[in-house]
Amino acid sequence: MSKSNQNLPSSLNDAVLKASEAVPEDYTKIEGIDYTKPEATDMRASDLIGAMKNMGFQASNVGRGCEIIDKMRSWRGKHIDELEEHQRKGSFDDDGYQKTTIFMGYTSNLISSGLRETLRYLVQHKMVSAIVATAGGIEEDLIKCLAPTYLGDFALKGGPLREKGLNRIGNLLVPNDNYCKFEEWIVPILDKMLEEQEKYVSEQGSSCFDANSEVDSPMWTPSKLIDRLGKEINDESSVLYWAHKNQIPIFCPAITDGSIGDMLFFHTFKSSPKQLRLDIVSDIRKINSLSMEASRAGMILLGGGLIKHHIANACLMRNGADYAVYINTGQEFDGSDAGARPDEAVSWGKIKAEAESVKIYVDATVVFPLMVAATFASGKVATKI
Angle at 329 between CA 135 and CA 360, to 5 degrees: 110
* Helices of type H across 154-221: 158-164, 176-204
Please give the CATH architecture assigned to the domain spanning 57-100+295-385. 3-Layer(aba) Sandwich (3.40)
d(CA 232, CA 124): 17
| pLDDT score, position 17 | 72
| pLDDT score, position 219 | 79
If you write DSSP's letter for every residue of 219-255 in order, what string do you get? Answer: SB-HHHHHHHHHHHH--TT-HHHHHHHTT--EE-TTT
Residues in the chain, pLDDT under 50: 212-215, 385
d(CA 206, CA 184): 31
- Name the residue ranges covered by the structural domains of the chain: 57-100+295-385, 137-235+253-293
The string of pLDDT tens digits covering residues 58-113 is 999 999 999 999 999 999 999 999 999 999 999 999 999 999 999 999 999 999 99
| pLDDT score, position 385 | 47
Instruction: Give 104's strand partners.
Output: 131, 300
What is the C-alpha radius of gyration for the chain, rounded to an integer number of angstroms?
Answer: 25
| pLDDT score, position 1 | 53
| pLDDT score, position 214 | 47
Question: Is 192 in the active site?
Answer: no
Integer CA distances (angstroms), 27 to 23, 57, 189, in order: 7, 15, 59
137-235+253-293 is a CATH 3.40.50.10320 domain: no
Domains 57-100+295-385 and 137-235+253-293 belong to one CATH topology: yes
| pLDDT score, position 20 | 82
Our measurement of the distance from residue 35's CA atom to the centroid of its chain's CA atoms, rounded to an integer in Å, reads 34
Residue in 350, 352, 359, 384 annotated catalytic: 350
Contact partners, residue 213, CB within 8 Å, separation at least 6: 207
d(CA 331, CA 300): 18
